């Protein structure tokens, strides 16, 4: 019985697959210009940042398991020419996302009448359908110096964030060009 069923399935597969064919042909530019479709990019990915620790080339950073070492990446932004530093410190963990989109959108109406005056293209970033955080963490802080190893280093931690779980985000982010 099983052999008869297997033989029947194989025969159906062979008959069905013989009906399927594809023909690849080159297409001229004029014909290609008539082809329309959706424009944009759909992205899914997984980003891991310093899960095991920072660089070990100097004496400050090290593996997360080392006592007395700082684990994680650091992003330092100086908001004024001779001012202090705004930092995102101890950045580590992973983020996975599904459904981040990017496309060019024409703004020629809406926005309380300002869209018609604007009448230009913008970058539209569609928020991902889901974000998954796995032991993702960072510290927002103010710092006197760019690096913890610089002389006169002092840092005031403002907010520590730790996230694990899933988040749903809806909406679009529009990036308007400036001249």
pLDDT tens-digit profile, the chain (179 residues): 444 444 544 444 444 444 445 566 787 888 877 776 666 778 888 888 876 655 545 555 555 666 666 667 788 899 778 888 999 988 888 999 888 888 888 888 888 888 888 888 899 998 888 889 998 889 999 998 888 778 888 888 899 999 999 988 888 888 888 76
Beta strands in the chain (DSSP E): 41-49, 73-78, 85-107, 120-126, 130-143, 155-167, 172-175
pTM of the model: 0.55
Contact assessment for residue 62 and residue 54, using Cβ atoms and an 8 Å cutoff: yes
Spatial distance between the Cα atoms of 42 and 175, rounded to a whole number of angstroms: 17
Spatial distance between the Cα atoms of 177 and 113, rounded to a whole number of angstroms: 18
- Residue 52, pLDDT score: 61
Contact assessment for residue 84 and residue 102, using Cβ atoms and an 8 Å cutoff: no
Bridge partners (DSSP) listed for residue 131: 97, 167
- Residue 6, pLDDT score: 47
Which residue has tokens 């690849």? 24
**Closest listed residue to residue 158, CA positions, set 136, 172, 175, 143:** 143
The SS3 call for residue 152 is coil
Which residue has tokens 């400036």? 178
> What contacts 90, CB < 8 A, 6 or more positions away?
70, 71, 72, 73, 74, 137, 138, 139
**Which residue ranges make up each domain of the chain?**
41-175
């Amino acid at each position: 019985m099983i052999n008869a069923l297997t033989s029947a399935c194989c025969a159906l597969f062979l008959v069905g697959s013989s009906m399927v064919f594809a023909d690849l042909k080159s297409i001229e530019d004029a014909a290609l210009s008539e082809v329309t479709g959706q424009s944009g990019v759909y992205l899914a990915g997984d980003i891991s940042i310093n899960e095991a620790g920072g660089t070990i080339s100097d004496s400050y950073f090290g593996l997360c398991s080392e006592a007395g070492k700082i684990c994680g990446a650091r992003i330092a932004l100086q908001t004024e020419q001779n001012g202090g530093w705004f930092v995102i410190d101890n950045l580590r963990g992973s983020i996975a996302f599904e459904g981040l989109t990017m496309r060019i959108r024409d703004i020629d109406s809406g926005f309380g009448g300002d869209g018609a005056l604007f009448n230009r293209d913008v970058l539209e970033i569609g928020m991902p359908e889901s974000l998954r955080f796995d032991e993702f963490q960072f510290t927002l802080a103010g710092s006197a110096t760019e690096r913890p190893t610089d002389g006169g280093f002092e840092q005031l931690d403002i907010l520590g964030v730790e996230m694990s779980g899933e988040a749903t985000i809806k909406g679009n982010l529009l990036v308007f060009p400036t001249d």
